[in-house]
Amino acid sequence: MAVVDRMILLMFHLESFWYRPNEAETGVRDEHRFGESVLVWIQAEERDHKNRIAVLRKMVKNIKWLAQKVGCNRIILHSFAHLGTSKADPEFADALIEEVANRLRERGFEVHIVPFGTFHEFAMHVKGPSLAKVFKTF
């Protein structure tokens, strides 16, 4: 069976999340702290270019579903191009994440995007129930 390139989401229901940019790379020491939230690591893959509208809809639907299921209104989107072997070009992935954020905001969610294209130090406290860890591909 051949492996098919696909959109990958790894979602966590968190008690807390903290990150800061790699200071050596950016010269910035901004720290960001969040309480309860849904963290979504996103890998857009090559084939997602052709299926952009469907991928966008499925991303919003899956993220919204988990956030509502766990009763959390804060969503953190993080590009994470290490979940698979095929990668969409960075411009496409960044634009897709921005559009997902806008659609989620239109639905009343508080959304934060971890800045694209830099490395970050981070810490997270993942909650214990099974729905606190969800992996989706489509």
CATH number of the domain enclosing 67: 3.50.80.10
Please indicate, yes or no, if residue 1 is contained in any of the structural domains: no
pLDDT score of 26:
67
Q: What's the number of domains the chain is made of?
A: 1
Q: How far apart are CA 125 and CA 16, in angstroms?
A: 5
125 near 131, Cβ under 8 Å? no
User: What confidence score (pLDDT) does residue 48 get?
Assistant: 86
pLDDT at position 90: 87
Per-residue pLDDT of the chain (138 residues; tens, 9 = 90+): 344 447 889 999 999 999 998 876 667 778 999 999 999 999 888 788 788 999 999 999 999 999 999 999 999 999 987 667 778 888 998 999 999 999 999 999 999 999 887 788 899 999 999 999 999 988
Domain that holds residue 99: 8-137
